[in-house]
Chain A
Amino acid sequence: MKHEISEKQGATVVAFTGEVDLESSPVAREILLKCLESTSKVIVDLSEVTYIDSSGVASLVEALQAAKKNGSQFSLAAVSEPTRRVLELARLDKVFTLYDSVDEGLNA
């Protein structure tokens, strides 16, 4: 898994690339929680995520919970097919705010 963090229109966009699994999810978790400490709007770009497992999903859920606690916005954008499938199976697709693209998330 690789990641890239950028600031756009006052929001922090975190883009993950590759596989978010048991090996890499602790890193993903740390990045997301750290971003939420300094920004009130975080958008996670999942377009290049080729695989995500339950530990990766757990990191996203934890970040969402942290955001709700501080009243920050946390959303997922451009969710790749494999990621969408796991979110569906996990019945978490309705829990997250999903945008078709990062831009849509920024303008929302």
Chain B
Amino acid sequence: MSNTAPGKDRRDPKRFDRRKSTNVSSHLELLSKMSGHLAVTLNIEETIQKALDLIVQFVKAEGGALFLLNDKDDSLVCKASAGPVDIRGISLQAGEGIVGQCVSENSSRIVRDVQQDPNFDHSVDDSTGFQTRSILCTPMTVHTEKIGAIELVNKHDDSSLFSDMDLLMLQTLASAAALAIHNAHMAEDLVEQERFSRELELATEMQRSLLPASRPAPFPVCGINLPAHEMSGDFYDFFELNDGRICFSLGDVSGKGMDAALLMSKTSSLFRCLGKTLHEPDVLLATINRELCETAIHGMFVTMACGLLDPATGEVQLANTGHEPPLLHARDGSFTPIPASAPPLGIMPLVAGNDGIRKETFNLDGGTLYIFSDGVTEGDLQDGSRLGIEGFKKIIRECIDIPVAERFAAIISVLGNAEGKRHDDITLIAIDATNPCLNENIRDNQGAMIVRHTFPARADELQAVREVVSKACDDCGCSPSMATDIVIAVGEACQNVVRHAYKGIAEGTATLEIVCKDGIIQFNLQDSAPPVDPEKMKPKWPKELGPGGLGICLIHDIMDEVEYLPVHSGQGNLLRMVKFIERTN
């Protein structure tokens, strides 16, 4: 038919033009109809069925099938079928049949009359009773990516066979369908990724909830855990026993993936549960080991140090299974490591006592005991070297005069390679009976009142910070309206740390120090985030509506003095804000 048509057209050019233009316009109409239909659905099954139905309808075929390429084994599976015989589910090997050849050669095929084609395989016709006369087939690709193929069977009109025009049409429609399928694939991937991220967020939240809440002074144990990725393979925990002693632990699971995170959850739960009844660190570790070995996961183990502190006497009992030696920093400045007496947990049976897990007993005597994961000592520094145990000791020595939580901040601030990335989880706890860690409220030797509040730089911590500020303003004798203003200003400063300084990369901590003396109230807000440019922190009132920089403007409006000071550890930011107090009386 296609051989005779051009002849007729040559005789009557007008008719040819009209027919061509009718074809083109209805073709465009179909394309736009198809895009419209396909745009509304991002469901892949629906998309391919709709695409095939429209194409079959427009090309006036008796039936059709849409095959998608299976990435795994390069087979072609029929995913949509139109016409008298439903062939969904049938699968062709790469290169098999007309469809397989089209895809592997990436070229279209027209078999005008199958009866004349020796390669035609009659088996499907024989089994279904369907009679194939004419076949069109074209591959679907997006850019260079092969997606599958569309095959049409028999022109609807019994007498006619497929023409070149039909093939051209199919090719155009197939590329639109390919794009729609590609988009639907992407949408499905996106939804799947979104679902996965949501689950990961829930898991992260769940895991963080296993860590103990920080306790106000004079509680002598505090800790920090910064996962390198969403989930952590490290953990720490502490809780009080009825006799006033405090049970504490820090563990590090081998590996860094989700499996490590799950084993971490299991181990920390065992510690919390068994630790309440077994008040001997060596016996406790031996019992946890037995549980872990019973349900051992091949090749995974846990290094762990755990102990008991008697805050009344400063006496500590400590047991260590395979963990990097905790360091006792004594009052005289010396460091004593407490090495492991047994291999990590989860590998082999271990007993408590001299033949297995030994318990060391010593007195803090005004010193501090640090337990840390290897993410600290093996952590990368900006210059490409590692912190190492000596680097750790150096920072501790330099920070001896500042509260424990700020020492943590100083250590964390140096960890991270040139891109600011960390490859391992960082976990640290400190046990210090004489220098409680958090939220101090003390008077210095000049009689100034000092409040210190260290908090994780997270949006959900800001309310607690505002409460601390509000109370301090009250205690310093600020008028209620001034206190309201100060809360606004300090709230904005803390918000900036949460939003901008850490940029959501890692969860850092910040420390707010409030000093009240001689008619002024001063706020020192320190973080360990990369330094900000103080020039950028100057107030610029927006000319028109626009909330950018509003927080900084509020701070400058409310406070009498605002300045960024250099930080002694060289990293992080220190914002000093001063307000002259008008007293209520």
Q: How far apart sit A65 and B544, CA to CA, in the bound complex (Å)?
A: 11
Contact B463 A23 (CB under 8 A): yes
Q: In the complex, how many angstroms separate the beta carbon of A65 from the nearest chain B beta carbon?
A: 6
Could you tell me if A53 and B492 are in contact, using CB atoms closer than 8 angstroms?
yes
Asked whether, in the complex, the Cβ of B495 is within 8 Å of the Cβ of A57, the reply is no
- Summarize B's interface: helix, strand, loop or mixed: helix
Q: Given contacts A58-B550, A85-B485, is CB(A21)–CB(B459) below 8 Å?
A: yes
Q: Out of A19, A62, A92, which one reaches B463, CB within 8 Å?
A: A19
Q: Across the interface, do A86 and B463 meet the contact criterion of CB distance under 8 Å?
A: no
A108 within 8 A of B: no
Please tell me if the beta carbons of B551 and A54 are within 8 angstroms of each other in the complex.
yes
Say whether, besides A54-B551, A82-B484, A86-B554, A23 and B541 are in contact (CB < 8 Å). no
Say whether, besides A22-B495, A85-B488, A54 and B550 are in contact (CB < 8 Å): yes
Q: Does B547 contact A (CB under 8 A)?
A: yes
Give the residue of B484, B495, B541, B558 whose beta carbon is less than 8 angstroms from that of A54.
Answer: B495
The 0/1 profile, CB within 8 Å of B marked 1, for residues 80-105 of chain A is 00100110011110010000000000
A23 and B459 in contact, given A54-B495, A54-B551 (Cβ under 8 angstroms): yes
B116 to chain A, nearest CB (A): 61
Q: Are B545 and A53 in contact (CB under 8 A)?
A: no
Mask, A27-70, CB within 8 Å of B = 1, is 00000000000000000000000010111011001101100000
| Set of chain A residues within 8 Å of B554, measured between Cβ atoms | 54, 86, 89-90
Q: How large is the interface on B (under 10, 10 to 19, 20 to 34, 35 or more residues)?
A: 20 to 34
B495 to A90, Cβ gap below 8 A?
Answer: no
Decide if B553 touches A90 in the complex (CB within 8 Å). Answer: yes
Give complex CA distance A54, B550 in Å.
Answer: 6
Contact, CB under 8 Å: B460 / A23 = yes
B462 beta carbon closer than 8 Å to chain A: yes
B547 proximity list for chain A (CB < 8 A): 54-55, 57-58, 61-62
Tell me, in angstroms, the Cα distance from A19 to B459 when the chains sit together: 12
Minimum CB–CB distance for B234 against chain A, Å:
26
In the bound complex, how far is the Cα of B488 from the Cα of A19, in angstroms? 12
- Considering the chains assembled together, what is the distance between the CA atoms of A82 and B491 in angstroms? 13
Q: Which of B491, B553, B557 has the most CB of A within 10 A?
A: B491
Query: Count the A residues whose beta carbon is within 8 Å of the partner chain — how many?
Result: 22
In the assembled complex, which residues on chain A have CB atoms less than 8 Å from the CB atom of B460? 23
Cβ–Cβ < 8 Å partners of B484 in chain A: 82, 85
Partner of A21, one of B462, B550, B553: B462
| B226 interfacial contact with A, CB 8 Å | no
Given contacts A22-B498, A23-B460, A53-B491, contact A91 B541 (CB under 8 A): yes
How many Å lie between the Cα of A62 and that of B487 in the bound state? Answer: 24
- Asked if A51 meets B545 with Cβ closer than 8 Å, knowing A21-B462, A86-B554, the reply is no
Does A22 lie within 8 Å of B485, measured CB to CB? no
Please encode chain A, from 1 to 39, with 1 for each CB lying within 8 Å of some chain B CB and 0 for all others: 000000000000000000101110000000000000000
6 residue pairs, one from A and one from B, having the closest CB atoms: A58-B547, A23-B459, A54-B550, A54-B551, A22-B459, A22-B495
- Name A's B-contacting residues (CB within 8 A): 19, 21-23, 51, 53-55, 57-58, 61-62, 64-65, 82, 85-86, 89-92, 95
Given contacts A21-B463, A21-B491, A89-B557, list 19 more A-B pairs with CB under 8 A. A21-B462, A21-B495, A22-B498, A22-B499, A51-B491, A53-B488, A53-B491, A54-B495, A54-B550, A54-B554, A55-B499, A55-B547, A58-B547, A61-B545, A65-B545, A85-B484, A85-B488, A90-B553, A95-B545
A-B contact pairs, 26 of them (CB 8 A): A21-B462, A21-B463, A22-B459, A22-B495, A22-B498, A22-B499, A23-B460, A23-B462, A23-B463, A51-B466, A51-B491, A53-B488, A53-B491, A53-B495, A54-B495, A61-B546, A64-B545, A85-B485, A85-B488, A86-B554, A89-B557, A90-B550, A90-B553, A91-B541, A92-B545, A95-B545
